[in-house]
């Protein structure tokens, strides 16, 4: 008889199992995403205590200076240091992402759990139709409406992006909740008479926590693009606070004379989005190993 490992596999299969675990531990997407995100977080954190120059200081004598020892990435048309603006812009981007994704999770997760747990079919359908209504309402259009009422600001950008991201959370969490409701521990909790709220908090929420983490990282990338787009249109972070999207907008008139003014913030946005997407892919492989085993 062939000896088996605790997982039920033969000793001949044990090396392959260990290999798969090793690949998950050193997932290249997770590593690359963590590096990119870590660099952005580091730049944002350092900007609280140090920047090479004041990112809002206008110096007409140093307009459009090319990269040098004094100005590592050069200066813009107002003489402001680009590297300092990038650092503080990272802080703005992360702040908008954290608040907007947090707002989306705060509303979308309970909505999805309720829709997946409710025994009344009509209640779940009404909840998801409301979710579809939000899904059909673009966050950019919502931002334009809010900006027309309250004026463009960082708060408007956070609220618009957050509301626009609620449906993604609700749909995903509803699917995870419906799957968890079929598990033995949830059935046992229902048999002993636990209240739905207790089941949702003690059993369903921990079971879908992996989905929440993965979806948060993916939506963070979308929030970065959203904030950049809104700032580019003048509906996001107002001046003089640095923003990557507004740096792109201000570089339009000098695109042929100084293309680096658009290239630098564009690369920063691309790397940030790529980093969070790779991080989400890596986390998805960890929380759902079956995806990696199929590759």
Structural domain count of the chain? 1
pLDDT digits (tens, 9 = 90+) for 105-143: 999 999 999 888 876 666 667 777 777 777 777 777 887
pLDDT digits (tens, 9 = 90+) for 216-268: 999 999 999 988 988 998 888 888 899 999 999 999 889 899 999 999 999 99
Is 192 contained in some domain? yes
Distance CA 134, CA 167 (A): 6
Is 37 contained in some domain? no
How high is the pLDDT of residue 2?
42
For residue 35, pLDDT over 90 is answered with yes
- In terms of residue numbers, what domain contains 101? 75-293
Query: Which domain CATH number covers 154?
Result: 1.10.3720.10
Q: What is the pTM of this model?
A: 0.84
Q: Is the dihedral of CA 226, 232, 236, 237 positive or negative?
A: positive
How high is the pLDDT of residue 137?
74
Residue 81's nearest CA partner among 115, 100, 58, 102 is: 58
pLDDT digits (tens, 9 = 90+) for 41-100: 999 999 999 999 999 999 988 999 999 999 999 999 999 999 999 999 999 999 999 999
Is 67 contained in some domain? no
For residue 17, pLDDT over 60 is answered with no
Residue 139's nearest CA partner among 234, 230, 216 is: 230
Is 51 contained in some domain? no
Buried b (16+ CB within 10 A) or exposed e, 213-229: bbbbbbbbbbbbebbbb
Q: Mean per-residue pLDDT for 157-167?
A: 89
How high is the pLDDT of residue 4?
44
Is 171 contained in some domain? yes
For every residue of 176-214, DSSP letters joined together read: HHHHHTTSHHHHHHHHTT--HHHHIIIIIHHHTHHHHHH
Portion of the chain with pLDDT greater than 70, in percent: 86
């Amino acid at each position: 008889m062939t000896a088996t490992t605790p997982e039920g596999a033969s000793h001949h299969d044990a090396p392959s199992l260990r290999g798969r675990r090793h690949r998950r531990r050193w997932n290249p997407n997770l590593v690359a995403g963590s590096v990119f995100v870590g660099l952005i977080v580091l730049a944002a954190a350092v900007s609280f205590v140090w920047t090479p120059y004041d990112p809002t200081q206008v110096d007409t004598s140093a307009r459009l200076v090319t990269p040098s020892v004094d100005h590592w990435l050069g200066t813009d048309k107002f003489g402001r240091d680009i590297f300092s603006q990038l650092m503080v812009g990272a802080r703005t981007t992360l702040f908008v992402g954290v608040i907007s994704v947090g707002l989306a999770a705060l509303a979308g997760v309970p909505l999805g759990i309720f829709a997946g747990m409710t025994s009344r079919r009509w209640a779940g359908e009404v909840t998801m139709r409301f979710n579809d209504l939000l899904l059909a309402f673009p966050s950019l259009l919502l931002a334009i409406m809010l900006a027309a009422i309250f004026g463009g600001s960082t708060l408007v950008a956070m609220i618009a992006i957050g509301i626009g991201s609620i449906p993604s959370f609700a749909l995903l969490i509803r699917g995870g909740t419906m799957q968890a409701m079929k598990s033995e521990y949830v059935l046992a909790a229902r048999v002993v008479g636990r209240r739905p709220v207790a089941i949702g908090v003690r059993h369903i929420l921990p079971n879908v926590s992996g989905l929440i983490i993965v979806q948060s990282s993916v939506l963070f990338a979308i929030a970065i693009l959203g904030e950049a787009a809104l700032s580019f249109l003048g509906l996001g972070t107002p001046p003089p606070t640095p923003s990557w999207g507004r740096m792109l907008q201000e570089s339009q008139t000098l695109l042929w004379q100084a293309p680096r003014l658009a290239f630098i913030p564009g690369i920063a946005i691309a790397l940030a989005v790529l980093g969070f997407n790779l991080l989400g892919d890596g986390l998805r492989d960890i929380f759902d190993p079956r995806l990696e085993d199929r590759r």
